[in-house]
A and B are shown apart, each in its own frame.
Chain A
Amino acid sequence: QSALTQPASVSGSPGQSITISCTGTSSDIGIYNLVSWYQQHPDKAPKLMIYEVNKWPSGVSNRFSGSKSGNTASLTISGLQAEDEAEYYCCSYAGSSTLVFGGGTKLTVL
């Protein structure tokens, strides 16, 4: 069970859109539509932003959207805002009642 692969960093200007990828394998992302995304600001607990690939929890802005193709899931943030600057983590069900996280992506709003 290996960690999912995310880019270490991405950046964008206010108002732009960015996409963060999360690559797994045919044993996790590729076979299950059970990918979630978390936003974490410094010294804070993570916050659920997307679950089951593309569903929004209550209270989360629809500027955040999720998708999946093959073994790769993606988080897109549109209309980038300063408060979106944070670390983002993907997580996938990996079978046999186990879960795996990505290594995290630092989003910088320029």
Chain B
Amino acid sequence: QLQLQESGPGLVKPSETLSLTCAVSGGSISSSTYYWGWIRQPPGKGLEWIGTIFYSGSTYYSPSLKSRVTISVDTSKNQFSLKLSSVTAADTAVYYCFRDMRGYGTFDYWGQGTLVTVSS
């Protein structure tokens, strides 16, 4: 059974860079079938797609976050990562990593989510 697990600091200071990692177990991130990525959900609000990556390193980002986001993959560790720079309180959210089985928003596996709070 595929499992995804997010990890990273739960508190980040304003203007700093948020960094999260998603460890994948029970399957290979190097599969040519699947895509991987990140979605976030501010407290009490809806879902927002952040970006997607293919094992080859090809990336696709939300236009609204593109200037601040970097998603990378480490196939040797079977994990992928998110970096979001210049964070503000508006970036406070639960961050989910996902597997996209089609590459078009078909998120069939999710991590449990991790709350990241931006505060000084």
Q: Which A residues contact B (CB, under 8 angstroms)?
A: 1, 3, 32, 34, 36, 38, 40, 45-48, 51-52, 57, 89, 91-93, 97-104
In the bound assembly, the distance between CA atoms of A104 and B106 in angstroms comes to 17
B26 at interface, CB cutoff 8 A: no
In the bound assembly, the distance between CA atoms of A52 and B60 in angstroms comes to 19
Q: Is A36 a contact partner of B96 (Cβ separation < 8 A)?
A: no
In the bound assembly, the distance between CA atoms of A48 and B104 in angstroms comes to 13
Q: List residues of chain B with CB within 8 A of the CB of A3.
A: 46
Q: Which 7 A-B pairs have the closest CB atoms?
A: A97-B60, A45-B110, A34-B104, A51-B106, A104-B46, A99-B49, A99-B105
Q: Is B104 a contact partner of A93 (Cβ separation < 8 A)?
A: yes
Other A-B pairs beyond A45-B110, A47-B110, A104-B47, 19, CB < 8 Å: A3-B46, A32-B104, A34-B102, A45-B96, A45-B112, A45-B113, A46-B47, A51-B106, A52-B102, A52-B104, A52-B106, A91-B47, A91-B49, A92-B105, A93-B104, A98-B49, A98-B63, A99-B104, A99-B105
Closest to B108 in A: A48
Q: Which B residues contact A (CB, under 8 angstroms)?
A: 46-49, 52, 60, 62-64, 96, 102, 104-108, 110-113
Q: Is B96 a contact partner of A38 (Cβ separation < 8 A)?
A: no
Given contacts A52-B106, A97-B60, contact A102 B49 (CB under 8 A): no
Q: Is A36 a contact partner of B106 (Cβ separation < 8 A)?
A: yes
In the bound assembly, the distance between CA atoms of A99 and B62 in angstroms comes to 7
A sample of 8 inter-chain contacts (CB < 8 A) reads A32-B104, A40-B47, A51-B105, A51-B106, A52-B106, A93-B104, A97-B60, A104-B46
